[in-house]
Structure 1
Amino acid sequence: MAITAAMVKELRETTGAGMMDAKKALTENDGNMDAAVDWLRTKGLAKAAKKSGRVAAEGLVAVAVKDGKGVAVEVNSETDFVAKNEEFQNMVRAIAKAALDVDSVEALKSATVNGKPVSEVLTDAIAKIGENMTLRRMVKVEAPLVVSYVHNAAADGMGKIGVLVGMEGGNEDIGRQIAMHVAATSPASLGQGDLDPALVDREKQVLTEQARESGKPEAVIEKMIEGRMKKFFEEVTLTGQKFVINPDVTVAEAAQEQGATITGFARVAVGEGIEKKEEDFAAEVAKTLGGA
């Protein structure tokens, strides 16, 4: 597969690796971006395996909580200017409240807001405001106590990141602190047993290759992998992470001190996982200019 300048640029931005290292990683892995990231990590050349720089969609995440149910709803717009529009904000808030009574995005599109289906409310807003809008997703958390938090709030109950935390026991204060922690650290799962097996396998493969690069005996390598996987679980699971407010304890321990057990959480960030249109345009320009 031909390795383009755009591909090298994307890998460099994703990992922080140097240009030649990024190009070699792509060449060694036939242009496979994920495999190239792992190759760089194995060689100790990747500073971070993050793609947050590729996220571009605008809009808002709104949260709503009622009677042990919490929802976070993402509605996208084309520009951040629209996300600051009071009429758009009121619509998103109303959609979030309607989401408390349904269990999926499709059901939410049929739910009514002010006597109209949400899908029609969106269509009317598109015609009036003049920008395309999308009801992208909703997540729900149910527990005896559900606490919400919005980071970078644009208005009451909505902003760029919405978090829900479900607990048994405890109180609003510890729930909000944990929700703020979730907003800051973006854990992959509640606990080790909830992690995606594919993610665990991939991490273990990378750590195994890293350990073998050391040239140490197999028995030592096994111990190295075991220790590094333990650290990995502590870093990516909510209950295992060090509590940002008090790093001397884990999040689970902090909750326990307040008589709480965390039963679930959700974190929704605007535009998460949506690639920038500008990157496609940049690739086209590079190709036109003969740089790819």
Structure 2
Amino acid sequence: MNISATMVKELREKTGAGMMDCKAALTETAGDVEQAIDWLRKKGLSKAAKKAGRVAAEGLVGIASDGPRAAVVEVNSETDFVARNEAFQTLVRTIAGVALANGGDRDATAAAGYPGKGHSVDDEVREAIATIGENMNFRRSAMLSVSAGVVGSYMHGSTADGLGKIGVLVALESTGKVEPLADVARKIAMHVAATNPVAVDASGIDPATIEREKAILLEKHQGKPANVQDKIAESGLKTYFKEVCLLEQPFVHDGSKTVAQVLKETEGQVGAPVKLTGFVRFALGEGVEKETSDFAAEVAAAAGTR
């Protein structure tokens, strides 16, 4: 019997199993969807759909580098225990490599072929859900590259090579000596991990955010003359930019200098101009709404006392 793409799609939606597994199940059962579901269940491949609604805020951030470019990904799991699973670590490391080959685009990476398998990265994640037994999610990815220079990286809370809790990339454009440039890029990446800046400089901050900050400053000083309020707001915004703009922040490795001053000094070391063209910081689980539970209430409910 000819197994159509529509039949495979229908079975995938019902079970959450991988595309190739769905095709195999339909082939084995002569296209009978209900029997195919049972076939997948017997092989433990239909677990993914049941777990898809569970919150996945743990997992790993992974980094892959290749010369003047690097990619960072976040793959989530339900528990930190899974992050120590070798199979999960291999999954994240491999997805980072695929992201590097696909320009850091999340959707392109998810749809790309998983190395050594006849299916996509998304399908491999679904298979991992069935095998490992937890909900997982390839959440995001990004890439930085330079035409000349380096993309430095740093992984905080490292659990294995290129894997950890906070992954940072920093791109330094320069035709200067690579070795000292790479050292500075890594140190700035460590700085970004610690300070979590909003943008490289003020031009990179959303104008709406700046207006919101200005409104807060003006609200605090209502009743004062307009010209005084404007000066206070201007001064307050300068302070805000020093706090959130990477180039204006005091360097964590030497608080007497800003990151911009460190880059200026670096130009002398590498023998060429240096420009910080961008950075990416992925912190595991940031922005994911985690479930909270009242354990005592759950026990009481289970015992029938509430």
Q: Quick one: which of 155, 158, 177 aligns to 2:187? A: 177
The amino acid across from 1:175 in the alignment is A
1: CA distance between counterparts of 2:116 and 2:95? 10
1:219 Cα deviation from its structure 2 partner: 2.2
Q: State the alpha-carbon separation in 2 of the partners of residues 271 and 58 from structure 1.
A: 6
Report SS of the residue matched to 1:274. coil
Letter in 2 for 1:195: I
TM-score where L is the length of structure 2: 0.70
Is 1:90 aligned to 2:100, yes or no? Answer: no
Which residue of the partner structure matches residue 109 of structure 1?
A: 110
**1:168 maps to which residue?**
173
The 4+ residue runs of structure 1 with deviation greater than 4 A are: none
Q: Given the alignment of the two structures, is residue 271 of structure 1 paired with residue 285 of structure 2, yes or no? A: yes
1:136-172 alpha-carbon deviations (Å, 9 max, x no partner): 0001111131011100001111101000000013611
Q: Is the 8 A contact 2:56 2:78 kept in 1?
A: no
Matched, 1:126 2:136: no
Letter of the 2:112 partner, please give it: A
8 Å contact from structure 2 (residues 69, 145) kept in 1: yes
The residue aligned with 1:216 is 224
The one-letter code of the counterpart of 1:180 is: M
Structure holding more strand per residue: 1
Q: What is the deviation of 1:56?
A: 7.8
- Separation in 1, partners of 2:191, 2:142: 18
Amino acid at match of 1:277: E
Deviation of 1:218 after TM superposition, in Å, equals 2.6
Distance 1:146 1:239 in 2: 17
Kindly state the Cα deviation for residue 210 of structure 1 after the two structures are TM-superposed: 1.1
Overall identity of the aligned pairs, in %: 46
For 1:163 and 1:183, the matched residues in 2 are separated by 6
Compute the displacement of 1:217 (Å): 2.9
**Cα distance per residue 1:224-248 (max 9 Å; x no partner):** 1111110101111111111111111
- The structure number with the bigger radius of gyration is 2
Structure 1 residue ranges without an equivalent (≥5)? 1-54, 286-292
Aligned counterparts, 1:120-269, within 5 A? 120-143=123-146, 144=148, 145-169=150-174, 171-212=181-222, 215-259=223-267, 260-269=274-283
* 2:56–2:79 contact (8 Å) kept in structure 1: no
* Equivalent position amino acid for 2:253 in 1: I
Structure 2 CA distance for aligned equivalents of residues 219 and 245 of structure 1: 39
| Stretches of structure 2 lacking an aligned partner (at least 5 in a row) | 1-54, 175-179, 268-273, 298-306
Q: Whole-Å Cα distance in 2 between the matches of residues 89 and 221 of structure 1? A: 54
The 1:181/1:196 distance shift into structure 2, 3 A limit, reads same
Give SS of 1:258's match.
helix
Residues 157 and 165 in structure 2, CA contact (< 8 A), matched pair in contact too:
yes
TM-score scaled by length of structure 1: 0.74
Structure 2: distance between partners of 1:160 and 1:223 = 41
Native 8 Å contact 2:192 2:246 kept in 1: yes
Q: Which amino acid in 2 is paired with 1:276?
A: K
What amino acid does structure 1 have at the position aligned with 2:185? Answer: G
Aligned partners of 2:170 and 2:278 also within 8 Å: yes
For the residue of structure 2 that corresponds to 1:228, the secondary structure is helix
SS of the aligned residue for 2:230 comes to helix
Task: State the match for 1:50 in structure 2.
Answer: none
Do the aligned partners of 1:70 and 1:146 also contact (CA within 8 Å) in 2?
Answer: yes
Q: Quick one: distance in 1 between partners of 2:161 and 2:151?
A: 17
Secondary structure of the 1:147 match is strand
Deviations 1:44-82 (A, max 9, x none): xxxxxxxxxxx9810100011113221110000000000
Shift of 1:179: 0.2
- The answer to whether the Cα contact below 8 Å between 2:172 and 2:185 also exists between their aligned partners in 1 is yes
- Matched AA of 1:220: V
Query: What displacement does 1:187 show?
Result: 0.4
Give the secondary-structure state (helix, strand or coil) at the position aligned to 1:114: coil
